[in-house]
Structure 1
Amino acid sequence: MQISSTMASRTSSLKFFSLLICSIAIVQMATAGDPDIITDFIAPPNGTVDGNFFTYTGFRVLVGGGPPPTAFKVLKATLAEFPSLNGQSVSYAILQFPSGTTNPPHTHPRSAELLFLLGGTLEVGFVDMKNNLFTQTLQAGDLFVFPKGLAHFQYNADSQNPALAISAFGSANAGTVSIPSTLFATGIDDNVLAISFKTDMATAGDPDIIADFIAPPNGTVDGNFFTYTGFRVLVGGGPPPTAFKVLKATLAEFPSLNGQSVSYAVLQFPSGTTNPPHTHPRSAELLFLVGGTLEVGFVDTKNNLFTQTLQAGDLFVFPKGLAHFQFNADSQNPALAISAFGSANAGTVSIPSTLFATGIDDNVLAISFKTDVATIQKLKAGLAAKP
């Protein structure tokens, strides 16, 4: 019996390591997000470089026979844990899901995630920048890609069995922005959240092109092609907006920006309005406050909240892929800002809409926010489109 048990244990370990070895191929498919280095590797400033420097043993606990986790658990091999990954544009995470647990909605600002399910089943999904929800039920052996910078989740709906997955990232430091923690555990002003959720109190830039500009396939290229007149309404003397409003000059509105790695948005804030928490997966945002005052802030991947009160003439940078907001707390006066982006299509992921207006399962959200399904349904009702 002891020999049989030992053989079974070895067989199980061999199966695990076979899947682990196969998953190395995932690395080659993940898009690199880190800058290239001009050496083979980056050596530590004061240390010996030998085989130990290139070896990480932190995953040995997975085959050490310890007790399984009772809550969702992540083991990482990123730049922080494994310094020799510096400049190598790759990292790993092991995701352990006891029955009924979830990896709450989150984003990775600097890389896509390619998940390989080693055992069990998982319900997974992500929301694109048009608020389309893409879901799948994964079986052991399946792979699923979560595009860079988009909100996504994983959920083990099996009430009896655990699930185990390995994820590869095309960055040594992909970063993780936990949306529940970012919103409710970092000190973002309650008024900002209340307005955003209508309740009470998308990374790399654009690829370089090898021509001066990208001409339309069937069209005349003259001065008109390089001119956008959609912002004339701002000086046309029309009535001011009564709700927060954005005017964009991106690739969608201004096709000549294709390949030019730049775009604009004009943000109009009537008194007491907010631009709800959101991210831009493909660019930082550089905001220039033209008039009024604004309360602004962003949350980094360590859940640190950085805020500022801006006066007219100030600039503020929101780093690429991080959740951020703007709020006109002035009860009397509007505010006007211009934002520049280092991408013709920076993308916008609205966190309230992504979570509560796209069909993500109520159980996933209830577990993620440590509340009940009834509360989730109330939030969804508040964000639903009015007839």
Structure 2
Amino acid sequence: MAIPSPLLSFAIVVAVLLLPSPSLAGDPELLQDICVADITSTMKVNGFPCKATVTEDDFYFKGLANPGNTNNTYGSVVTGANVEKVPGLNTLGVSLSRIDYAPGGLNPPHTHPRATEIVFVLQGTLDVGFITTGNKLIAKTITAGDVFVFPRGLVHFQKNNEDVPAAVISAFNSQLPGTQSLPMTLFAATPEVPNYVLTKAFQVGSKEVEKIKSRLAQKKS
């Protein structure tokens, strides 16, 4: 078998390095002008299949105009404008959300596995932050007109420590970024994460784990 020359080997390495990394890419690139999502389709694909009949309403959503109801356990609510609400976003690789916070409200630690998030503060003041894989907290207090970025996949949070409501608009480089809330993921999964896993991970007793599970089960229902 012929051995590649050093020049050929070098060319192959350079070509590989210049290829876009799947781990860094966002949603797939477009292959056509539009592909409005058929939300009702039973076909399983990586995204949504395109529907045949398209109207202007497939590209329109008014749900971010008004504050959401923050009367819940955490005192915050996320209103999404993703492909499930705006079918025309299918294959476009972008989406928005509005997040409203009651006084003292918290958007608890969570991740978006498929997107980087950038928030623009509409009103109020928030303490925000994310944690790197090196376990370093990057945190800042932001106020109306400010922008802050949460890198893709990293655990992050927002907390309103003021006595007035706050709100932000969040933008994502994905049509459906996905959200994994750490409390709900760990303590309210179906089937349950075994207690022996949680007691060992958090160095607490089974009573504490059951107490958290019961409270989050009530929130889930």
TM-score class normalised by the smaller sequence: 0.7 to 0.9
Q: Which has the higher contact order (CA 8 A, sep 6+)?
A: 2
Deviation sequence 1:300-319 (CA, Å, 0-9, x none): 00000010000110000000
Cα pair distance change 1:355/1:241, threshold 3 Å: closer
Which residue is 1:287 aligned to?
119
Which residue is 2:32 aligned to?
211
186, 200, 211: which one aligns with 1:367: 200
The alpha carbon displacement at 1:252 in A equals 1.2
Deviation sequence 1:245-271 (CA, Å, 0-9, x none): 111100111111000000000000010
116, 132, 141: which one aligns with 1:300: 132
Identity of aligned residues (%): 39
The alpha carbon displacement at 1:378 in A equals 1.6
Contact preservation (8 Å) 2:116, 2:153: yes
The alpha carbon displacement at 1:374 in A equals 2.0
The alpha carbon displacement at 1:231 in A equals 2.7
Deviation sequence 1:135-180 (CA, Å, 0-9, x none): xxxxxxxxxxxxxxxxxxxxxxxxxxxxxxxxxxx86xxxxxxxxx
Counterparts of 1:267 and 1:209, CA distance in 2: 29
Counterparts of 2:214 and 2:86, CA distance in 1: 35
Counterparts of 2:97 and 2:125, CA distance in 1: 18
Which residue is 1:343 aligned to?
174
222, 230, 247: which one aligns with 2:79: 247
Counterparts of 2:70 and 2:217, CA distance in 1: 21
The alpha carbon displacement at 1:39 in A equals 5.0
Which residue is 1:334 aligned to?
165
142, 145, 151: which one aligns with 1:313: 145
Which residue is 1:176 aligned to?
none
SS of the aligned residue for 1:384 comes to helix
Counterparts of 2:64 and 2:54, CA distance in 1: 21
Structure 1, unaligned runs of 5 or more: 1-37, 43-85, 90-109, 111-169, 172-202
Cα pair distance change 1:221/1:328, threshold 3 Å: same
- CA-atom RMSD in angstroms: 2.6
Counterparts of 2:134 and 2:17, CA distance in 1: 21
Counterparts of 2:65 and 2:119, CA distance in 1: 20
Which residue is 1:74 aligned to?
none
**Residue type at the aligned position of 2:89:** L
Structure 2, unaligned runs of 5 or more: 1-9, 39-49
The alpha carbon displacement at 1:210 in A equals 0.7
**Residue type at the aligned position of 1:370:** Q
The question of 1:228 aligning with 2:80 is answered no
Which residue is 1:273 aligned to?
105
Alignment of 1:1-387 (within 5 A): 39-41=11-13, 87=17, 204-215=25-36, 216=38, 218=51, 220-234=53-67, 241-242=70-71, 243-330=75-162, 332-358=163-189, 359-385=192-218
The alpha carbon displacement at 1:373 in A equals 1.8
Which residue is 2:41 aligned to?
none
Which residue is 1:26 aligned to?
none
Counterparts of 1:373 and 1:252, CA distance in 2: 38
Cα pair distance change 1:226/1:367, threshold 3 Å: same
Counterparts of 2:105 and 2:168, CA distance in 1: 13
**Residue type at the aligned position of 2:28:** P
**Residue type at the aligned position of 1:271:** P
Contact preservation (8 Å) 1:264, 1:339: yes
**Residue type at the aligned position of 1:272:** G
Counterparts of 2:26 and 2:121, CA distance in 1: 24
Aligned residues: 192
SS of the aligned residue for 2:122 comes to strand
